[in-house]
A and B are shown apart, each in its own frame.
Chain A
Amino acid sequence: MHQIFQKIFLVLSLLAATLAQAQLSIEITGAGANRIPVAIANFAGDPAAAQVVTTTVRADLERSGLFKLVDPGGSTLDENAQVNFADWKGRGADALAAGSLTRGGDGRMEARFRLYDTQKQVALGGAVFVTGNDQLRAAGHRIADYIYEKLTGEKGVFSTRIAYVVKSGGQFRLQIADADGQGAATALSSTEPIISPVWSPDGSKLAYVSFEKKKPVIYVHSLASGQRQVVANFKGSNSAPAWSPDGRKLAVVLSKDGNSQIYSVNADGTGVQRLTNSPGIDTEPRYAPDGGTIYFTSDRGGSPQIYRMSASGGDAQRVTFDGTYNVSPRPSADGKTLAFISRRDGRFQLAVMDLASRQVQVLTDSNKDESPSFAPNSRMILIATEIGGRGVLSAVSSDGRIKQRLSIAAGDVREPAWGPFSQ
């Protein structure tokens, strides 16, 4: 149990300090109990390209908290080299990756690698990724995902993206970055707040709430084209969008008929249907991964608690019972866990419920957690929290053991949304 407070700073950027403030920097504050020792040899071929790829692979695996990186020394190994298994075993590595970067005829780079089990002395597999010279880090993320899946049995999320909102000065910026916080790009910049971004299941769009019209209005924003479409701007407030798993519909919260209630609407804004009919507040809808159930927050019982109902509306069952404030339900992609925010002694903390046993576990010791978002492999949960009066993002494993902090020097970071697996 040599985890907690083992601080490893991974300020990966080769950027100058002034530019680095626009990037998320990541700090790991805890790691898994049994980390797999793995060596990533220096890849052969184009030295500069190999350096970028191996650095990315190592940083990804390290950051996950599930691997212990074994120093490969100065050895450079391509994917076809003879591997001295006894030597690598002797250095403590259970697994070894070797590879190369070569320039193809069209100028594109080919990243090849092979992964070995040093105990069984066999190759576990390998792959080749063809990529542009400016996409070498993406190739590194793909290789890290491959290694992660082979060694842990679950899919990696290193190639995924995250969205979040940065407030700095009077400006709100909706940003998209790689899951490691690098390569941040601004999708929307506004003088008015932006909240509740959610990724479409195919990762091509974000739905969110923008206050640019002096009131909350729901937009769907295509990331590649920058095209924005209003999907709900009814009289009153329009908020809390959630995509159906097939991407055809959004569950939304509208106040057009009085108090805040949940409706469904087609992704193009047509076909509004009311789903809840309560005298109080119903908000924060989220579809379960099978699309048949919606989890939501309601104060119908006197305090805000989490309920579930059929995705077509109707009777609701209460899900949370401990305490007087349980909000922001987020079912995991595997359908096994519900993450939410629970107020305990005046502090807002991330909690998870095992949906089979209904057992609840509080995962953090913070004061102001909000807006949880599961990684698509259901292992990590991204939340907004506050440290030293400043908004930061924190990623917590669903067993609470691994914690990472993502912050931006220049501003408050909030409203994280973890994107789907890349396609």
Chain B
Amino acid sequence: MKKLLIPALLAALIVGCSSTPVPDENAGAPVESRSGSGVTPVTAGGLDSRGLPKELTDPKSVLSQRSIYFDLDKYEVKDEYKDLVAAHAKYLVANKGFKVLIQGNTDERGSREYNLSLGQKRSDAVKRSLILLGAKEDQVESVSLGEEKPKNAGHDESAWADNRRADILYKAPDGRGEF
């Protein structure tokens, strides 16, 4: 049985290690963690800890709002988010070196792969709006996380509403940022 025990031991070790905080930029979900501590990190040069300008991350700036929510089975940007999308488009027009990654999300019900494609429809809708408002094709990438990265881990209507969403992530010209 010795051979059989080894993978189990290794697996147990990996699980054991996972509780240790790792200074890895991939370790957390950046969009969700923004408001986590209630402390705004201050960095010289007007950049936050990810190297992004404060106006993209300061809670007082409209550009710190990065989530666009969708209704059940709906894939168009709702009127209430048009101003927010316009503000991001304006920033991209004025800052050609910046790029965004739009991640579409769905609730947990149904096929994971079909949901991935539905999430893509949401991020595509946001991308289309940004391009229409002047952002350049090479500044915007729309992708989908499907049902894999729920913002709300619950299993009820309100959790599902939180998860039908597209998030905007930024990257600065120097390559630093959220993706």
Q: Show the binding face of A for B, using Cβ within 8 Å.
A: 14-15, 18-23, 52, 134-135, 137, 168-171, 173, 175, 182-186, 189, 191-193, 195-196, 211-212, 214-216, 235-237, 239-240, 253, 255, 258-260, 281, 283-284, 297, 304, 325, 327-328, 341, 343, 348, 370-371, 389, 410, 415
Known contacts: A215-B103, A341-B111. The answer to whether A281 contacts B117 by CB under 8 A is: yes
CB atoms of B103 and A255 under 8 A apart: no
B39 at the interface (CB under 8 A from A): no
B36 at the interface (CB under 8 A from A): no
Q: Quick one: closest A residue to B109, CB to CB?
A: A348
* Of B5-13, B47-55, B60-68, B81-89, the one touching chain A: B5-13
Which B88-141 residues sit within 8 Å CB-CB of chain A? 101, 103, 109-114, 116-118, 120-121, 124, 141
Chain A residues within an 8 Å CB radius of B18: 168-171
Known contacts: A15-B5, A236-B142. The answer to whether A370 contacts B11 by CB under 8 A is: no
- In the complex, A193→B149 CA distance in Å? 8
Q: How far is the CB of A1 from chain B (nearest CB, A)?
A: 33
Q: Quick one: closest B residue to A304, CB to CB?
A: B114
Which B1-27 residues sit within 8 Å CB-CB of chain A? 1-5, 7-12, 14-15, 18-19, 24, 26-27
CB atoms of B15 and A283 under 8 A apart: no
Q: List 7 A-B contacts (CB under 8 A).
A: A15-B4, A19-B5, A169-B18, A195-B113, A215-B103, A259-B121, A281-B114
Chain A residues within an 8 Å CB radius of B142: 236, 255
Q: Quick one: closest B residue to A138, CB to CB?
A: B3
- In the complex, A215→B103 CA distance in Å? 8
Q: How far is the CB of B140 from chain A (nearest CB, A)?
A: 10
Chain A residues within an 8 Å CB radius of B144: 215-216, 237, 255
Chain A residues within an 8 Å CB radius of B9: 19
CB atoms of B14 and A237 under 8 A apart: no
B145 at the interface (CB under 8 A from A): yes
- In the complex, A186→B7 CA distance in Å? 7
Chain B residues within an 8 Å CB radius of A23: 8
CB atoms of B120 and A168 under 8 A apart: no
CB atoms of A215 and B101 under 8 A apart: yes
B159 at the interface (CB under 8 A from A): no
Chain B residues within an 8 Å CB radius of A14: 1
User: How many interface residues does chain B have, given as a range?
Assistant: 35 or more
CB atoms of B8 and A297 under 8 A apart: no
Chain A residues within an 8 Å CB radius of B124: 255, 258-259
CB atoms of B114 and A191 under 8 A apart: no
- In the complex, A259→B118 CA distance in Å? 9
CB atoms of A186 and B143 under 8 A apart: no
Chain A residues within an 8 Å CB radius of B15: 22, 168-169, 171, 410
Q: Show the binding face of B for A, using Cβ within 8 Å.
A: 1-5, 7-12, 14-15, 18-19, 24, 26-27, 101, 103, 109-114, 116-118, 120-121, 124, 141-146, 148-149, 155, 169, 179
Chain A residues within an 8 Å CB radius of B118: 281
Known contacts: A328-B111, A370-B112. The answer to whether A169 contacts B19 by CB under 8 A is: yes
Known contacts: A169-B19, A173-B14, A215-B143. The answer to whether A184 contacts B7 by CB under 8 A is: yes
Chain A residues within an 8 Å CB radius of B109: 348
Question: Given known contacts A240-B113, A327-B111, what 14 new A-B pairs fall within 8 Å (CB)?
Answer: A14-B1, A18-B12, A22-B8, A171-B14, A175-B11, A211-B149, A214-B143, A215-B179, A216-B144, A237-B120, A304-B111, A341-B111, A348-B109, A371-B112
Chain B residues within an 8 Å CB radius of A325: 110
CB atoms of B2 and A134 under 8 A apart: yes
Residue in B2, B8, B149 whose CB lies within 8 Å of A184 = B8
- Give the 7 A-B residue pairs with the shortest CB-CB distance, closest first: A134-B3, A215-B143, A260-B117, A193-B148, A185-B7, A22-B11, A281-B117
CB atoms of B14 and A214 under 8 A apart: no
- In the complex, A300→B5 CA distance in Å? 50
Q: How far is the CB of B154 from chain A (nearest CB, A)?
A: 11
Q: Quick one: closest B residue to A258, CB to CB?
A: B124
CB atoms of B4 and A283 under 8 A apart: no
Q: Quick one: closest A residue to B30, CB to CB?
A: A214
CB atoms of A214 and B120 under 8 A apart: no
Q: How far is the CB of A339 from chain B (nearest CB, A)?
A: 13
Q: How far is the CB of B130 from chain A (nearest CB, A)?
A: 15
Known contacts: A182-B4, A214-B101, A216-B144. The answer to whether A189 contacts B14 by CB under 8 A is: yes
Residue in A22, A260, A328 whose CB lies within 8 Å of B12 = A22
Q: How far is the CB of B165 from chain A (nearest CB, A)?
A: 15
Q: Which of A186, A239, A255, A348 has most B Cβ within 10 Å?
A: A255
Q: How far is the CB of A388 from chain B (nearest CB, A)?
A: 12
CB atoms of A370 and B141 under 8 A apart: no
CB atoms of A211 and B112 under 8 A apart: no
- In the complex, A371→B110 CA distance in Å? 10
- In the complex, A134→B7 CA distance in Å? 13
- In the complex, A313→B79 CA distance in Å? 39
Q: Quick one: closest B residue to A168, CB to CB?
A: B15
Chain B residues within an 8 Å CB radius of A215: 101, 103, 141, 143-145, 179
CB atoms of A297 and B4 under 8 A apart: no
Q: Quick one: closest B residue to A189, CB to CB?
A: B14
Chain A residues within an 8 Å CB radius of B117: 237, 239, 253, 255, 259-260, 281, 283
Chain B residues within an 8 Å CB radius of A259: 117, 120-121, 124
CB atoms of A211 and B101 under 8 A apart: no
Q: How far is the CB of A175 from chain B (nearest CB, A)?
A: 8
- In the complex, A191→B114 CA distance in Å? 23
